[in-house]
Amino acid sequence: MRKSGLTTACLLLFFAAFPSLQAQQATTLLVDVDHRQQTSLNGPWHYIVDPYRNGWGNQPDKPNLNGYAKNGTPVPGGALQEYDFAQSPTLQVPGDWNSQKPELFFYEGMLWYQRNFDYQPKPHTRVFLHFGAVNYAAHVFVDDSYICQHEGGFTPFDCEITGVVKPGANFVVVAADNQRQAERVPGIKTDWWNYGGITREVSLVEVPESFIDDYSLQLQKGTKNHLDGYVHVVGAAAGQKVTIHIPELKVEQTAETDSAGKAAFSFSADGLQLWSPESPTLYGVDLRAGSDALKDDVGFRTVEVKGEQVWLNGKPLFLRGICIHAEAPYRSGRAWSEKDAETLLGWAHELDANFVRLAHYPHDEHMTRVADKMGLLVWSEIPVYWGNAWTNPHTFDVASQQLHEMIRRDNNKASVIMWSMSNETPISPERTEFIGKLAELARQQDSTRLITSAMVIPHRGADNKTIVMDDPLGKYLDVLGYNEYFGWYSDKPSEIAGIKWENPMRKPLIVSEFGAGAKAGLHKDADYRFSEEYQANVFEQQFQMLNNIPSLAGMTPWVLMDFRSPMRQLPGIQDYYNRKGLLSDKGEKKQTFSALRDYYKHRKQQP
């Protein structure tokens, strides 16, 4: 959580004017929260659209608690109140507002959510409000108290309400603001729909006074059965016992917390079966610290780079991938459910893919959970996208915060093998320094995975047919990702096969995007743009080029399914959809789906 830029003196004056705002706190993030006992707050929430920020007040950093943060109903003959949540319409949570209400389709700005809930506090228990994601900035109020704020539209956060929630009836108000701003991450312009609102699940989570908030357990590189990790316990004194139990492996290990509440583990697990796409083995892992118990399902594998190859579990692996946007199949809007994940990843599995790039932001946790079960390797990315405010300290703080939240949430997902720092950022010293620092932070937080970014082709050689992969960002990366659209934005399809690649950095290459648009059901000859035949021809020509790249470690064509984008307006063809999907938004398979599936079956059979 980024701390406020207000000085201490300003904060004191601020809290003196608004004493109930003193409850405002930094958010935290409880790992494995989807395995904890929860009380769901999903369902209909009342909402008020607030384009002029009337419910917020005149100060951009100071919500007015006499505004919409209150839950009161106007009283006849009483004070003037020009809103009433109880009489306001509802939106389903989780869910974006754009796809639920036609009048909100293009809306960007502030919208206030409200719902009532009952709660009975328990002794020696702490309670948190858990949000899977709110796009983009969230301000959370409970019973007239300002609880917390969070910035970043694709990562989870938890707000403690232990000292605020009361026995019986309570209410929560969330001000969600998805207004695009240059200093935010992402910035002003994206090629996807800026879906606003409480887009992922909301719940109440109870934990003991001392509880496990974070842990990591990873297979040590170079071994087949040695596990290293830690468990962190909030409120633990030094010397508290922490236990890890893996029943299926007959492992039970105990360690003690240090003065920071962290217990370190290092032990062997005989009989361990490694997680892989062919055998996605998951083990039940039980954690216990005092009165707190946490269970997870974890797979163990190693990933590393050797020369120009990616190795999984000590063997080289070609990554047969596909890019995926978090667009909900069939209904559109932001994907959030386990069913959405099973549909999208099921199509990837049908392609004979073993790898997915979850672009261009952390997807819902259901995606990585289902990937764990299906055996699909994952590239996970933060939304440092196109142009960002590279020299703005706030922008870097928010990017690093989202990186931390992504890593912390999915640290124990075997499927996730790469953290991506960015997508298609223009080369400049400021940009390279910004992303290079993110890469350093990622390695500090997780040394077990590979670091990558999706870059753009910097230049061509003198013959204009040779791609030279020398973006200076590459020195910070383990794996080079490069996006190219030969046959669509540059070059003719007939010219693609003759393009060659040079890799002066001698690192593994993933062609992280290529493709062409096609309207499902539009059939013309192979020279007709937006026909299925044109898209299929581009892919066939790409396959010929890709087969001749010695350092090619994998590929993630763009993109699994059509997705909404305000940039794509061609009537009758795009209609606000990016049509580069192998499937339409209604699940119709285009010719290219079969072409890529056949190519992957062939690559799978190669040694």
Q: Could you write out the DSSP letters of every residue in 473-487?
A: GGGG-SEEEEE--BT
Over 90: is that where the pLDDT of 244 sits? yes
319 in a structural domain: yes
| pLDDT, mean of residues 45-62 | 91
**What pLDDT shows up at residue 73?**
82
CATH of the domain at 246: 2.60.40.10
113-154: per-residue pLDDT in tens?
999 999 999 999 999 999 999 999 999 999 999 999 999 999
What pLDDT sits at residue 607?
A: 59
Q: Do 181 and 293 belong together in one domain? A: no
- SS3 call for 169: strand
Q: How far apart are CA 85 and CA 44, in angstroms?
A: 12
Average pLDDT score over residue span 214-237? 97
Instruction: Give the pLDDT confidence score for residue 571 in this predicted structure.
Output: 97
Orientation angle between helical segments 365-374 and 393-410, nearest 10 degrees: 40
Residue 151 sits in the same domain as residue 239: no
- End residue of a domain, out of 299, 318, 333: 299
First to last CA, the chain: 47
Task: Note whether 245 and 200 are same-domain residues.
Answer: no
Using pLDDT thresholds of 50, 70 and 90, give the confidence band for residue 326: very high
Q: How many residues does the chain have?
A: 607
> CA of 149: how far to CAs of 65, 114, 134, 409, 545, in Å?
15, 16, 11, 19, 48
Domain membership of residue 585 (yes or no) is no
Structural domain containing residue 407: 304-518+550-560
Identify the bridge partners of residue 284 per DSSP, sorted by sequence position.
297
In a domain, 496, yes or no: yes
pTM: 0.95
**pLDDT tens digit sequence for 17-53:** 333 334 456 789 999 999 999 999 999 999 999 999 9
What is the percent of the chain with per-residue pLDDT over 70, rounded to a whole number? 96
Please state, in angstroms and rounded to a whole number, the distance separating the CA atoms of residues 116 and 95: 18
Q: In what order do the strands lie in the sheet with 303-306?
A: 303-306, 309-312, 315-317
Q: Tell me the DSSP string of 549-564.
A: -TTEEEE--S-SB-EE
* pLDDT tens-digit map of 455-508: 999 888 888 899 999 999 999 999 999 999 999 999 999 999 999 999 999 999
**192 has pLDDT over 60:** yes
Q: Are residues 383 and 293 in the same domain?
A: no
**Distance (Å, rounded) from C-alpha 476 to C-alpha 384?**
16
User: Are 451 and 508 contained in the same domain?
Assistant: yes
Mean pLDDT over 173-201 rounds to: 97
Look over the chain and give the mean of its residue pLDDT values, rounded to a whole number: 94
**Residue 398 gets which letter from DSSP?**
H
Residues 116 and 162 in one domain: yes
For residues 530-544, give the mean pLDDT.
Answer: 98
- Provide the CATH number for the domain around residue 148: 2.60.120.260
State the pLDDT at residue 72. Answer: 78
The reply to whether 540 falls in a domain is: no
Q: Is residue 161 a contact partner of residue 95, using CB atoms and an 8 Å limit?
A: no
Q: Over 80: is that where the pLDDT of 6 sits?
A: no
Domain boundary among 148, 173, 208: 208
Angle at 213 between CA 207 and CA 214, to 5 degrees: 155
What would the DSSP string read from start to end of 83-148?
--GGGS-EEEESS-STTT-GGGTT--SEEEEEEEEEE---TTEEEEEEES--BSEEEEEETTEEEE
106 and 142 in a single domain? The answer is yes
Task: Check whether residue 318 and residue 451 sit in a common domain.
Answer: yes
Does 573 fall in a domain? no
Confidence of residue 179 (pLDDT cuts 50, 70, 90): very high
Is residue 433 included in any domain, yes or no? yes
What letter represents residue 542's amino acid?
A: Q
Q: Which of 299, 324, 349 is the last residue of a domain?
A: 299
Residue 605 has which token pair? 């059979």
| Torsional class of 202: left (φ above 0), alpha (ψ -120 to 50), beta (otherwise) | beta
Let me know: does 277 contact 367? Beta carbons within 8 Å: no
Instruction: Quote the pLDDT of residue 1.
Output: 33
Q: Write down the pLDDT at residue 350.
A: 98
Let me know whether 184 and 314 are in one domain.
no
The answer to whether residue 35 sits within a structural domain is yes
Residue 24: per-residue pLDDT: 58
Q: Evaluate if residue 165 carries a pLDDT over 90.
A: yes
Residue 123 and residue 232 in one domain = no
Residue 582: inside a domain: no
> Which pLDDT tens digit goes with each residue over 70-117?
887 888 888 888 899 999 999 999 999 999 999 999 999 999 999 999
CA distance 319 to 208: 43
Q: What is the per-residue DSSP string for 43-78?
A: EEEEEEEETT-TTT-SBTTB--TTTTTS-PPP-TTS
Q: What is the DSSP string of 179-217?
A: ---TTSSS-S--SS----B--S-EEEEEEESSEEEEEEE
* 22 and 106 assigned to the same domain: yes
CA distance 157 to 26: 10
Work out the average pLDDT over 423-438. Answer: 98
What total number of domains does the chain contain? 3
- Amino acid present at 40: S
470 and 430: one domain? yes
pLDDT digits (tens, 9 = 90+) for 254-305: 999 999 999 999 999 999 999 999 999 999 999 999 999 999 999 999 999 9
